[in-house]
Chains A and B, each alone.
Chain A
């Protein structure tokens, strides 16, 4: 597995994927341009653990390429743009953010070829009274056929934060399927009651729900699952 640990002063070249690849990204305190180009017929999976970043991340997906990103971050104001530029290309992007400061997370997909799909799941837990924004655009260009686009955005407020979601679907074609959803709220009261009714303290119940919420849907194997769980442990109310 290609493994990249990047901090503020590290230089990072463009990444061109010419064979099936897994990348582990650990980005800490940085503000960089990161370009990842996935060539025809290639599969890429990314496991990304970030702390305090404002990166501009650009993906370019070529024909028949497959990209799965599992991203867990603390305090993230990245701007991510995914251009799906090849027929039959597919994106599955799962971002989960633990928010403690004022942050604005921007995500854009642009589908410009037929038979493409983008599935984008953005989850955030805002632990404080600071502001968090999800700005999410899913664009499908004119005259596209048989495309699918889905974006699911949720923010759980554990402080008294100011939370915003802008879930845009920008679609100008009839032969596509597109859906979006947005939710801002607390953990459901009846769920907390259920867990606590089995003897679990409120703070432990919230921790269980936090992990479930942040890691739900991600596609993690044993090693990554341990790393992602540890990341939450290390950054939970800390």
Chain B
């Protein structure tokens, strides 16, 4: 599915990723944990195609294709989805216009309103989102939890094959976290080949979405890989006490 090979990225003179390697197969769930400022969110944005960073070396291969130089929208249409840590609000653009435009960008046939409503209605109910979300501007006046639910709604509507969850648990209360994770698990069941990369500080998220692999990231590279027990160990001891 995804292979990142010796990727080095900078912002200004500062190296953010340092010969970063990661390989994720179809259907696998990986989690990356690491202290603040170690490059986790940068990694997610670079995979998505942000041009805020200079890629100095290395490559990103997605389903056998080198996407290192592809634009953000092209990567998305190939199946990559980044659920953002702090989803922004967009003045004057409703969720309905946004989602329909995004769906139509993936298809040669414009999606009719009836089909669009059918596609979104049940997902809105499943996520326990307010009924009027489609006529609201994107994340306008929404709480942190509502914004995260909107990210998951977008996943369920756009049906990506590779999902990056950048701190999906931040800003969520216990009930909302359960709803979000139940929906993501259901999506994964219905789309078994979909791969997920979870970026998180806390192992509590991994109680809900079980990863196949957990990576510890320090100073722009992965320094240790294990199963979910590595996450519990990090939670217990912090990042400093585990040997790299």
Binding site for B on A (CB under 8 A): 190-191, 193-202, 204-205, 208-209, 211-216
26 sample A-B contacts, Cβ–Cβ < 8 Å, listed by A number: A190-B88, A191-B90, A194-B87, A196-B76, A197-B82, A197-B84, A198-B76, A198-B98, A198-B99, A198-B158, A199-B76, A199-B77, A199-B106, A200-B98, A200-B105, A201-B105, A204-B101, A208-B93, A209-B90, A211-B92, A211-B93, A211-B97, A212-B90, A212-B91, A212-B92, A212-B93
Q: What A residues does B138 contact at CB under 8 A? A: 194
Q: What B residues does A201 contact at CB under 8 A? A: 73, 105
**8 pairs of A and B residues whose beta carbons are closest in the complex:** A212-B92, A216-B92, A199-B76, A198-B102, A196-B72, A212-B93, A196-B73, A199-B77
Q: What A residues does B77 contact at CB under 8 A? A: 199
Where chain A touches its partner, the secondary structure class is helix
Total A-B pairs, Cβ < 8 A:
72
Q: How far is the CA of A193 from the CA of B82 in the complex (A)?
A: 11
Q: How far is the CA of A193 from the CA of B91 in the complex (A)?
A: 15
For residue B137, CB closer than 8 A to chain A, the reply is yes
Q: What A residues does B76 contact at CB under 8 A? A: 196-199
| Cross-interface CB contact of B88 among A194, A202, A209, A215, cutoff 8 Å | A194
Q: B106 near A196 (CB under 8 angstroms)?
A: no
For residue B227, CB closer than 8 A to chain A, the reply is no
Which residue of chain A has its CB nearest to the CB of B105? A199
Q: B92 near A196 (CB under 8 angstroms)?
A: no
Q: How far is the CA of A191 from the CA of B138 in the complex (A)?
A: 11
For residue B71, CB closer than 8 A to chain A, the reply is yes
